[in-house]
Amino acid sequence: MPDTTTSWAAGLLAGLSLLLVGNCSAQSPAKSNDQTEKAIAYRTPEQGTAVAPCLLDIYYPRDVQDFATIIWFHGGGLTSGQRQIPPQLIDQGVAVVAVGYRLSPQVKVTECIDDAAAAVAWTYQNIEKYGGSNQKLFISGHSAGGYLTSMLGLDASRLRKYDIDANTLAGLIAFSGHAITHFTARQEQGIDRKQPIIDELAPLFHVRPDAPPLFLITGDRELELLGRYEENAYLWRMMKIAGHKQTTLEEIQGANHGGMAEPAFPLLLNFIRQNTPPIKTER
């Protein structure tokens, strides 16, 4: 089994208190003085897109400076789902940008990825207005959101289109995302979801040594969707072979595809704290 920087048991135990604090604080947001702004358009009609799906919500702390930001992409197979700020990330001293994006079959998978890239670019260009730092941007998401995370961080051309250097991202945390070509992209080509391929729409296609820190988290290999753990294990191995020194793989024992997200959030927060300089608190 691949070595990891954290064990699931240790990470979960260490993170339980974070979840309890986050959940309790979320019930009384006035104490934290945090703020949420909703339905912000990150694309315009002039860009040739339908604005309605291309909205984001931003939750951010008001009592810290230069905070880290998690750009969160929802799951749903690139065919369903909607933007949501995970409650586990509330009152943790970080901002969360929850992104909505266009979905298949209304658009192709390439356009889903492009929407995600545009949302990252918007965050990079605007987060300082809210008090954050664009040098502390982390991308994360579950399932389809995990796939988008890895694609944006590894295929540097996606963000380069918006004049953003993918290597300036502080980190990538993919929750049970495809490492091979996404099954919805395969379906567009008439390929069965059980037939794996690796092409330019696969994170594995873009393995490189100079990518941002990458944290791959999956559920139990015996309970996950198809070969989701094995895909990520292969990506972990190939990143290591390519010379990338900051790729970590975590398998959450006893958790299926949907159930792995809850115990993964403390691991995400721990990863961010390990990869972010101390933030300054206003006095």
DSSP, residue by residue, 222-258: TTSSTTHHHHHHHHHHHHHHHT-S-EEEEEETT--TT
Q: Quick one: tokens of 192? A: 């069965």
Residues 6+ apart with CB under 8 A from 187: 193
Which structural domain, as residue segments, surrounds residue 122? 8-276
pTM to 2 decimal places: 0.87
187 within domain boundaries: yes
Residues 98, 92: contact at Cβ < 8 Å? no
**Domain-embedded: residue 3:** no
What CATH number is given to the structural domain containing 179? 3.40.50.1820
In a domain, 12, yes or no: yes
Domain count, the chain: 1
4: which DSSP letter?
-
> Does a structural domain hold residue 2?
no
Residue 281 lies in a domain: no
Backbone angles phi, psi at 112, to 5 degrees: -60, -45
Q: Is residue 108 part of a domain?
A: yes
Phi, psi of 145, rounded to the nearest 5 degrees: -65, -35
For 200-255, what is each residue's pLDDT tens digit?
A: 999 999 999 999 999 999 999 999 999 999 999 999 999 999 999 999 999 999 99
Residue 283 lies inside a defined structural domain of this protein:
no
Residue 154 lies in a domain: yes
Q: What is the pLDDT along the chain (283 residues), one digit of tens a residue?
A: 444 444 444 443 344 333 333 332 233 333 567 999 999 999 977 665 666 789 999 999 988 889 999 999 999 999 999 999 999 999 999 999 999 999 999 999 999 999 999 999 999 999 999 999 999 999 999 999 999 999 999 999 999 999 999 999 999 999 999 999 999 999 999 999 999 999 999 999 999 999 999 999 999 999 999 999 999 999 999 999 999 999 999 999 999 999 999 999 999 999 999 998 665 545 3
What is the Cα–Cα distance from 199 to 188, expressed in whole angstroms? 13
Q: pLDDT tens-digit profile of 68-86?
A: 999 999 999 999 999 999 9
**What is the distance between the terminal CA atoms of the chain, rounded to a whole angstrom?**
47
